Structure 1
Amino acid sequence: MTENYIQYLEGYHKENINFSDIEKAISDILIRDNEHGAFWVSVYKEEEYVTETDQFLNVAVVFNDYQINYKAKNWKEI
């Protein structure tokens, strides 16, 4: 089983990611159009933990059927 992955709204997908993949996603999202400006990072432990981020700094963290929504102040918070 894959321990983590990243996926862009436009379809890009990579498994077994590291921090540089997340940094690249942030750079990529800033040049996307409004329709494709989001990405997900998923980490599996005993459950799946998913963080969704869009180009407007809206963040959703999903775990165990709970979702927390947050508006980040800047990209450093992401």
Structure 2
Amino acid sequence: MGPHEMVVSSSAETGAEEWSCPSCGRRLLLRWPPRFERVVLHPGDERVVHVGGRAVPAIDRVTEQERRWLAAYGIVWD
């Protein structure tokens, strides 16, 4: 069984973020340093490794072949 990916589902004015796992329902409240805190709202499947991150990798370059494939599915990529 592979890891489950956690995603940010909401953010509060206090700086806390709610993270959730769409696969098993795990839910956490996280507050980042300097006042780090983690509160488990719902444990979900505790036998599985959970991973996650906010950064989205940048796409440096799209080839002409990839542009044609995207266009075939109605996606315009500039």
Greater RCO (CA < 8 Å, at least 6 residues apart)? 2
Larger radius of gyration: 2
Say yes or no: TM over 0.5: no
Give the TM-score, by structure 1 length: 0.35
Write 1 or 2 for the structure with the bigger share of helix. 1
Give the TM-score, by structure 2 length: 0.35
